[in-house]
């Protein structure tokens, strides 16, 4: 069946919301069988801006229609639901839950596995009151809330040692109207879904009891992993609600259509419908949904809450469902794209690894693959996790490691590996090669991690140009020792750390090391890093107008990996080079270090170099001469 959709908007230009661009479509033709029409969600059209324009620019538009409109048969995608708290939307949510329960075996196993029930839960008493209760047994079904606290903890109406008794009393409890809007809205959704209990960290943890906080924070991963569902409130702080109207026009309040959609009227007909029917397509400029733009994606603690939750119902610029089996939204185009910093791909990859772990752990599954299967990909996943996490804000500096501790604990189960201040023992030499967008680093005033750990800085973390299979490992880790602050949080805050490495080491001054790099042919993909390192070693590595590190006269270049050895700086000309030349070029991965208070063989990490070429005299002797250095 073929369909032709003529536009009636032939004599006027239509402005695109938020843009100076206008378009004037005259005819849209769609050819295809009826079963293919589900794919009609976008349209590429010509844009007419000036008759003198020589080029013909294009504009990709998203197409929507309302379910009861004649156009809906041909454009089946409806706009997002602008009333997330409506009965209609709740009906859709219940449908997602039902489908997940009935059709997703991985989700069923995840939701039914025994876990650690929270010490306390909020129980919905009636339409006015909730009450703190002690959870009993492992069968209590509860929903967890993930949200942004806001600038101060007082915004959350926190539970303290002074009010925990009254809040646990059936007579008093907590008035729902006294709670912040985000928590009130979450309780409303929980109630409508027929669940009686919800876990909210500010209310279910005694906030001024260090003992209670330490115990409960150590179990947070289990709490989110064991929840029937996690509700995500995509608001900037807890005093913002999330079930009110979203995206509606404030002038035309009766319209359920988001205000950024432009109506495009037309006549719609098919081969068996010669008269045609009037209908309306709703258009907007292509605007893919990016999870990274939501407020909650900017907070550190919420990342592990999302990673460890099996089923997530997210309220923000749209209502979105995500589980191991599917991702869905109530309206809007579901085939959205993601930017490189969007956590969605990392979340899915991590949860797939968790599902594989649970399958291996299940004796009935018959799966017993070795722990090191897919090892390289697994550590690459950790690098993505660190990269995503490091772009988020942490209110309290000391929370840098605790806020990702539950994820590290699960990763340890996946890999069978030993954790050390954000790095992994079996991949330690590669894990050391983290970098930041600027050679200068922002370190907190109070020590929280050793200089070799990415957790010691407040910059976004990058793992790029890492050594491949052709690179040879030069370093040997002789000592790693990390002391945890609390024995009940083994992946959390640390009090001290020691690292000793045996590897080739070039001890010189920054100028001489820069000269080793300066004349070399830049290797593919690292020219910017080469220039950055050169500028930094030359004393001009600035960021925001400030020099971040005062380089001492003496520095050291510790070589961890080497791949390319030649007497020519051109990597293409390596085969027939003179092997006896005194001067050679090496493609290396390593760390630039600075001495610590003139202590012998004791250093701090300044930066990493990845895949850079250096020129050295006596390369063979250098690579065979190892030194043990301690990095603080």
Q: How far apart are CA 421 and CA 496, in angstroms?
A: 10
Q: What is the DSSP letter of 151?
A: S
Residues 234-269 have pLDDT tens digits of 998 999 999 988 776 655 556 677 777 888 888 877
DSSP-assigned letters across all residues of 378-407: HHHHHHHHHHHHHTSB-SSGGGTTGGGHHH
Asked whether 42 and 60 are in contact (CB, 8 A), the reply is yes
Residues 385-421 have pLDDT tens digits of 999 999 999 988 999 999 999 999 999 999 999 999 9
Checking if the pLDDT of 536 tops 80, the result is no
Would you say residue 537 lies in a domain? yes
Range in 107-111, 483-487, 548-552, 600-604 the model is least confident about: 548-552
Checking if the pLDDT of 449 tops 90, the result is yes
Checking if the pLDDT of 16 tops 70, the result is no
pLDDT of residue 330: 84
Same domain flag for 311 and 201: yes
pLDDT of residue 570: 59
Same domain flag for 145 and 213: yes
- pTM > 0.85: no
Asked whether 497 and 625 are in contact (CB, 8 A), the reply is no
Q: How far apart are CA 118 and CA 134, in angstroms?
A: 8
Same domain flag for 129 and 225: yes
377 or 34: which carries more pLDDT confidence? 377
Same domain flag for 488 and 581: yes
Helix (H, G, I), strand (E, B) or coil at 269: strand
Same domain flag for 511 and 624: yes
Q: Stretch 276-286: mean pLDDT, rounded?
A: 81
Would you say residue 377 lies in a domain? no
Residues 583-610 have pLDDT tens digits of 777 888 999 898 887 777 899 998 888 8
Would you say residue 260 lies in a domain? yes
Across the chain, mean pLDDT equals 78
Residues 70-106 as b/e (b if ≥16 CB within 10 A, e otherwise) read bbbbbbbbbbbbbbbbeeebbebbeebbebbeeebeb
pLDDT of residue 113: 61
Q: How far apart are CA 415 and CA 366, in angstroms?
A: 19
Determine what percent of the chain is predicted with pLDDT higher than 90.
Answer: 38
Checking if the pLDDT of 6 tops 50, the result is no
| Pair of tokens at residue 211 | 């003992």
Same domain flag for 215 and 334: yes
Would you say residue 190 lies in a domain? yes
Percent helix, strand, coil in the chain, to 5, is 30, 25, 45
pLDDT of residue 404: 96
Domain boundaries, position 46: 3-79+248-285
Q: How far apart are CA 506 and CA 623, in angstroms?
A: 10
Q: How far apart are CA 406 and CA 402, in angstroms?
A: 8
Q: Please, is 261 exposed, middle or buried when counting C-beta atoms within 10 Å of its C-beta (0-12, 13-18, 19+)?
A: buried
Residues 153-208 have pLDDT tens digits of 556 689 999 999 999 977 788 999 999 999 999 999 999 999 999 999 999 999 99
Residues 509-530 have pLDDT tens digits of 777 777 676 555 544 445 555 5
Considering 225, 260, 285, which residue would you say is the last residue of a domain? 285
Q: How many helices (H) and strands (E) does the chain have?
A: 15, 29
Would you say residue 75 lies in a domain? yes
Q: Stretch 293-319: mean pLDDT, rounded?
A: 90
Q: How far apart are CA 183 and CA 203, in angstroms?
A: 10
Q: How far apart are CA 393 and CA 301, in angstroms?
A: 9
Determine what percent of the chain is predicted with pLDDT higher than 70.
Answer: 72
Confidence of residue 473 (pLDDT cuts 50, 70, 90): very high
Partner residues linked to 497 by β-bridges: 482
In total, the chain counts a number of residues equal to 632
pLDDT of residue 32: 33
Q: How far apart are CA 292 and CA 301, in angstroms?
A: 15
pLDDT of residue 547: 35
Residue 497 parent element (H or E): strand 494-503
Confidence of residue 59 (pLDDT cuts 50, 70, 90): low
Range in 3-12, 351-360, 568-577 the model is least confident about: 3-12
Same domain flag for 108 and 175: yes
Would you say residue 364 lies in a domain? no
pLDDT of residue 439: 63
pLDDT of residue 546: 37
Q: Quote the crossing angle between the two packed helices 510-517 and 527-537, to the nearest 10°.
A: 160
Q: How far apart are CA 329 and CA 326, in angstroms?
A: 10
Q: Which of 18-27, 310-319, 354-363 has the largest mean confidence? A: 310-319
Residue 34, number of CB atoms within 10 A of its CB: 12
Q: Which of 419-433, 528-542, 599-613 has the largest mean confidence? A: 419-433
Same domain flag for 311 and 397: no
Q: How far apart are CA 566 and CA 14, in angstroms?
A: 63
Checking if the pLDDT of 38 tops 50, the result is no
| 257 contact partners, CB below 8 Å, separation of at least 6 | 66, 79, 82, 248, 249, 263, 282
Same domain flag for 449 and 559: yes
Same domain flag for 315 and 236: yes
Checking if the pLDDT of 476 tops 90, the result is yes
pLDDT of residue 482: 96
Confidence of residue 37 (pLDDT cuts 50, 70, 90): very low
The closest of 598, 600, 434, 582 to 505, measured between CA atoms, is 600
Asked whether 147 and 182 are in contact (CB, 8 A), the reply is yes
| 572 contact partners, CB below 8 Å, separation of at least 6 | none
Residue 183, number of CB atoms within 10 A of its CB: 26
Residues 546-574 have pLDDT tens digits of 334 455 678 888 999 998 767 665 555 54
Confidence of residue 111 (pLDDT cuts 50, 70, 90): low
Considering 302, 332, 353, which residue would you say is the last residue of a domain? 353
Range in 13-22, 491-500, 607-616 the model is least confident about: 13-22
| Pair of tokens at residue 373 | 């299967």
Would you say residue 42 lies in a domain? yes
Same domain flag for 323 and 411: no
Asked whether 318 and 329 are in contact (CB, 8 A), the reply is yes
Confidence of residue 494 (pLDDT cuts 50, 70, 90): very high
pLDDT of residue 29: 42
Range in 279-293, 352-366, 617-631 the model is least confident about: 352-366
Residue whose token pair is 């993909």? 525
Checking if the pLDDT of 297 tops 60, the result is yes
Would you say residue 361 lies in a domain? no
Confidence of residue 44 (pLDDT cuts 50, 70, 90): very low
133 or 362: which carries more pLDDT confidence? 133
Domain count along the chain: 3
pLDDT of residue 272: 67
pLDDT of residue 209: 93
Residue 447, Ramachandran bin (φ over 0: left; ψ between -120 and 50: alpha; else beta)? beta
Same domain flag for 269 and 344: no
Confidence of residue 619 (pLDDT cuts 50, 70, 90): confident
pLDDT of residue 597: 78
| Pair of tokens at residue 123 | 């129980």
pLDDT of residue 295: 87
Residue 365 parent element (H or E): none
């Amino acid at each position: 069946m073929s369909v032709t959709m003529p536009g009636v908007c032939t004599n006027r230009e239509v402005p695109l919301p938020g843009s100076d661009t206008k378009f004037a479509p005259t005819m849209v033709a769609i050819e295809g069988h009826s079963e293919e029409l589900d794919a009609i969600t976008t349209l590429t059209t010509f844009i007419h801006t000036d008759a003198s324009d020589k080029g013909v620019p294009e504009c990709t538009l998203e197409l929507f229609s309302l379910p009861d409109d004649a156009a809906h048969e041909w454009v089946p995608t409806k706009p997002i639901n602008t009333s997330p708290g409506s009965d209609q939307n709740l009906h859709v949510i219940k449908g997602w839950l039902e489908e997940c329960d009935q059709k997703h075996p991985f989700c069923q196993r995840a939701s039914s596995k025994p876990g650690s029930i929270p010490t306390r839960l909020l129980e919905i008493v009636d339409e006015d009151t909730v009450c703190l209760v002690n959870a009993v047994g492992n069968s209590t079904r509860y929903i967890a809330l993930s949200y942004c606290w806001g600038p101060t903890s007082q915004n959350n109406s926190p539970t303290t040692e002074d009010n925990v008794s009254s809040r646990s009393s059936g007579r008093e409890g907590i008035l729902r109207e006294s709670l912040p809007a985000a928590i009130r809205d979450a309780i409303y959704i929980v109630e409508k879904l027929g669940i009686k209990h919800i876990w909210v960290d500010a209310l279910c943890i005694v906030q001024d009891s260090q003992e209670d906080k330490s115990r409960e924070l150590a179990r947070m991963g289990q709490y989110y992993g064991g929840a029937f569902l996690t509700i995500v409130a995509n608001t900037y702080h807890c005093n913002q609600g999330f079930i009110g109207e979203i995206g509606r026009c404030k002038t035309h309040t009766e319209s359920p259509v988001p205000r950024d959609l432009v109506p495009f009227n037309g006549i719609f007909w098919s081969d068996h419908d010669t008269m045609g029917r009037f209908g309306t397509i709703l258009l907007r400029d292509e605007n893919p949904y990016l999870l990274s733009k939501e407020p909650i994606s900017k907070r550190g603690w919420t990342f592990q809450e999302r990673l460890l939750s099996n089923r997530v119902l997210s309220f923000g610029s749209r209502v979105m469902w995500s589980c191991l089996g599917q991702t869905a939204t109530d309206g809007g185009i579901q085939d959205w794209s993601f930017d490189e910093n969007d956590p969605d791909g990392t979340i899915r990859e991590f949860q797939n690894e968790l599902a594989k772990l649970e399958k291996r752990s299940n004796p009935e599954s018959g799966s017993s693959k070795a722990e090191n299967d897919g090892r390289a990909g697994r550590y690459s996943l950790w690098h993505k996790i660190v990269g995503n996490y490091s772009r988020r804000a942490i209110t309290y500096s000391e929370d840098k490691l605790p806020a990702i501790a539950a994820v590290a604990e699960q990763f340890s189960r996946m890999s069978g590996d030993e954790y050390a201040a954000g790095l992994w023992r079996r991949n330690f030499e590669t894990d050391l090669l983290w970098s930041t967008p600027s050679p200068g680093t922002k370190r907190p005033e109070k020590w929280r991690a050793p200089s070799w750990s990415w957790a010691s800085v407040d910059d976004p973390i990058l793992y790029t140009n890492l050594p491949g299979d052709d690179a040879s490992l030069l370093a040997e880790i002789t000592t790693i020792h990390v002391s945890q602050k609390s024995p009940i949080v083994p992946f959390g805050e640390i009090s001290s750390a020691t690292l000793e490495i045996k590897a080739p080491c070039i001890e010189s001054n920054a100028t001489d090391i820069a000269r080793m790099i300066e004349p070399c042919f830049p290797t593919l993909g690292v020219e910017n890093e080469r220039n950055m390192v050169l500028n930094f070693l030359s004393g001009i590595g600035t960021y925001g107008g400030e020099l971040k590190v005062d380089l001492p006269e003496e520095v050291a270049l510790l070589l961890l990996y080497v791949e390319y050895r030649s007497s020519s700086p051109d990597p293409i000309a390596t085969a027939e080079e003179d092997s006896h030349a005194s001067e050679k070029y090496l493609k290396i991965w390593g760390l630039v270090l600075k001495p610590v208070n003139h202590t012998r063989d004791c250093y701090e990490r300044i930066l990493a170099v990845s895949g850079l070429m250096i020129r050295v005299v006596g390369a063979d002797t250098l690579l065979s001469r190892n030194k043990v250095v301690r990095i603080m």
